Amino acid sequence: MPRCMKASIIFDGRLHLEAAKALEYLQGKVLSVCLPWQKIRSGVEYKLEEVANASWRVELFANATKTVVELRRPLEKLMRGRTINHESLTQSSLS
């Protein structure tokens, strides 16, 4: 049964672009010291927090800026929403 393994690589903060490129290159690859199912992937986490006036804050965390951007686009699109007008929709059917 496969187990989840976690490893971290720490880069000098001044080399953040090089670190992002390295992570992008390694994404989905298996290193020679790993088993075939131990692929490298960017960890993604989110935090959902209720704030004033029944609003919510969503924070996204990932090991690569590109990953955050890719996650943020569909989330922003979902948050913008779309207005649907149809005669069969009444206030009572929406409650």
DSSP string for 68-88: HHHHHHHHHHHHH------TT
In a domain? residue 7: no
In a domain? residue 59: yes
Find the helix or strand (DSSP H, E) in which 45 lies: strand 44-51
| Confidence band of 2 (pLDDT split at 50, 70, 90) | low
In a domain? residue 87: no
pLDDT > 70 fraction of the chain, expressed in percent and rounded: 84
**Higher per-residue confidence, 31 vs 92:** 31
Range of the domain at 55: 13-81
Q: How many domains does the chain have?
A: 1
Given a cut of 60, is residue 1 above it in pLDDT? Answer: no
In a domain? residue 40: yes
In a domain? residue 93: no
Q: Average pLDDT of 62-69?
A: 76
In a domain? residue 1: no
pTM of the model: 0.41
In a domain? residue 29: yes
| Confidence band of 26 (pLDDT split at 50, 70, 90) | confident
